[in-house]
């Protein structure tokens, strides 16, 4: 084959000085980075397990009581949820087969969006493959060509997917101290008049702390300063708010809320709830909608069944609240900080990575899955065990857990408390 003219010229230009050969050493970065992680007690590993039932898993031949899952209502094993996932799979197949803008916009996707919108009291909703995908692509779509005129104010502890979205948007951003509405107001005041667009971003229930944002105050501040309010309700959906539909449900002052299906709904995927016009805008400009295969029918079926069940689960929500309160109290009696936890997520904050890992290992020997959460998932010196409760946990389960935490063996592990 004859080289094209451009190629020949390029080749001639380069042939006078041969390009530097890449050094094989440049690719030892993985080894170095992993060794560093190990030295800092931050190395992560994927340890496989097999689910047994709503509460138990099997790992390395041992049955463990699970305190680390986000299946707060146990719906991933609910017969109605499973049945509708199977039914939709049998009727519509295992895949949506394309992006919704191509051939993947099934009627069941639209039906689920309508069901969600009416349960949430928002005009419209739009489905996403995951919460990570929603947050990391919706924020850049909202900012779009106006990065220079936009300032984003986000809570210091927001989830990594929100941080990814903010960074990808190219907008200037400031992180306000966690849940500090006075600081947020001051920052909004300072920014007012300097930017054409202000956006406030927070979670409603914080994923690693289990504490809650003051949604009322966020709405009031956003309203006062004409800011766009973006709330991630992932850990409140199913557990808190009207009919368990989250803390941003039925709140007209929230411009956009993100919810996920991989937690209380016992499935996978996510959605945003917003105005019909904004939904239309995202269909046109959000890469996470345009360039991705739509949610599989089985997942759509599971979520629609979960949404039918959630409003009637008030007793389960009350049980979760009662048991979480009991666990917080017991941990505090043992000397552990539980931060501002006010939900089914109860951290026992330890501080050191090594001690947290040692406690998690000790609990595993006692029959409990209670995963250590370390920086950078949480701030430095706040490594913790994050206990996530299910409505299927009974008091005797928690009594056993607390006894294992309080045992002399774990006291030997920990310098603090």
Ligand X SMILES: Cc1ncc(COP(=O)(O)O)c(C=O)c1O
Nearer CB in complex with ligand X: 246/262: 262
Q: Of the two residues 369 and 414, which places its CB atom closer to ligand X in the complex? A: 369
DSSP designation for 240: S
Q: Shortest approach of ligand X to residue 342 CB, angstroms?
A: 15
Q: Least separation, in Å, of the C-beta of 52 and ligand X?
A: 22
Catalytic residue, chosen from 71, 209, 211, 232, is: 232
User: C-alpha angle with apex 243: 317 to 52, nearest 5 degrees?
Assistant: 45
Annotated catalytic, 145? no
For ligand X, the closer CB: 184 or 258:
258
159 given a catalytic annotation: yes
Q: Which DSSP string do the residues of 57-105 spell out, in sequence order?
A: EEETTEEEEE-S---TT-GGG-HHHHHHHHHHHHHH-S---SBIIIII-
Interface ranges with ligand X (CB under 6 A): 130-132, 135, 159, 161, 203, 207, 232, 234, 260, 262, 270
Q: How far is the CB of 260 from ligand X (least distance, A)?
A: 4
Q: Catalytic residue at 194? A: no
Decide if 70 is catalytic. Answer: yes
How far is it, in rounded angstroms, from Cα 128 to Cα 126?
7
**Residue pair 269/127 in contact by the 8 Å Cβ criterion:** yes
- DSSP states of 121-141: T-SEEEEES-HHHHHHHHHHH
Annotated catalytic residue 203: yes
263 is catalytic: yes
Which own/partner pairs from 277-280 qualify as long-range (CB within 8 Å, at least 24 positions apart)? 278/124, 279/123, 279/124, 279/125, 279/126
- Our CB check for ligand X shows the closer of 330 and 344 to be 344
84: closest CA among 306, 397, 368?
306
User: Is 135 labeled as catalytic in the residue annotation?
Assistant: no
Q: At its nearest, how many Å lie between ligand X and the CB of residue 220?
A: 22
Residues 260, 262, 267, 268: what is their CA dihedral angle, to the nearest 10 degrees?
Answer: 70
Residue 285: burial class (beta carbons within 10 Å; 0-12, 13-18, 19+): middle
Closest-approach residue to ligand X (CB): 131
Nearest distance from residue 268's CB to ligand X, in Å?
A: 7
| Catalytically annotated residue among 78, 122, 178, 235 | 235
Please pick, among 159, 319, 392, 393, the residue that the annotation labels catalytic: 159
Angle at 362 between CA 356 and CA 368, to 5 degrees: 100
Closer to ligand X at the Cβ: 239 or 405? 239
Task: Please give the positions annotated as active site.
Answer: 70, 159, 203, 207, 232, 235, 263
């Amino acid at each position: 084959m004859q080289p094209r003219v451009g190629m020949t010229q390029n080749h001639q230009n380069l042939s006078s000085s041969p390009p530097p050969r890449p050094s094989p050493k440049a690719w030892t970065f993985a080894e170095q980075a992993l060794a560093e992680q190990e030295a800092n007690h931050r190395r992560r590993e994927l340890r496989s397990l097999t689910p047994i039932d709503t509460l138990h898993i099997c790992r390395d031949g041992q049955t463990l009581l699970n305190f680390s899952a986000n299946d707060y209502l146990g719906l991933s094993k609910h017969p109605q949820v499973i049945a509708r996932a199977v039914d939709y799979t049998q009727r519509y197949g295992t895949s949506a087969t394309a992006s919704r803008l191509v051939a993947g916009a099934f009627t069941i996707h639209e039906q689920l969006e309508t069901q969600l919108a009416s349960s949430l009291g928002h005009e419209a909703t739009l489905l996403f493959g995951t919460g990570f995908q929603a947050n990391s692509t919706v924020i850049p779509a909202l900012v779009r060509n106006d990065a220079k005129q936009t300032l984003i104010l986000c809570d210091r502890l927001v989830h990594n997917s929100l941080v990814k979205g903010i960074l990808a948007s190219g907008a200037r951003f400031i992180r306000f101290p966690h849940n500090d509405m006075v600081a947020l107001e001051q920052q909004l005041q300072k920014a007012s008049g300097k930017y054409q667009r202000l956006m406030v971003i927070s979670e409603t229930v914080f994923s690693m702390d289990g504490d809650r944002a003051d949604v009322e105050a966020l709405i009031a501040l956003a309203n006062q300063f004409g800011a766009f309010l973006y709330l991630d309700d992932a850990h409140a959906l199913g557990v808190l708010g009207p009919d368990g539909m989250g803390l941003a449900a039925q709140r007209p002052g929230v411009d956009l809320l993100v919810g996920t299906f991989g937690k209380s709904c016992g499935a996978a995927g996510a959605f945003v709830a917003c105005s019909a016009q904004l939904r239309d805008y995202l269909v046109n400009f959000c890469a996470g909608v345009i360039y991705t295969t739509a949610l599989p029918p089985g997942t759509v079926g599971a979520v629609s069944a979960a949404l039918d069940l959630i409003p009637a689960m008030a007793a389960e929500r009350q049980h979760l609240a009662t048991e979480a309160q009991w666990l917080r109290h017991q941990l505090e009696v043992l000397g552990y900080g539980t931060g501002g936890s006010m939900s089914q997520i109860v951290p026992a904050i330890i501080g050191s990575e090594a001690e947290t890992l040692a406690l998690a290992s000790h609990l595993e020997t006692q029959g409990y899955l209670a995963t250590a959460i370390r920086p950078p998932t949480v701030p430095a010196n706040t490594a913790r065990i994050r206990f996530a409760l299910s409505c299927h946990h009974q008091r005797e389960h928690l009594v056993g857990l607390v006894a294992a935490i309080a045992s002399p063996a774990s006291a030997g592990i920990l310098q603090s408390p």
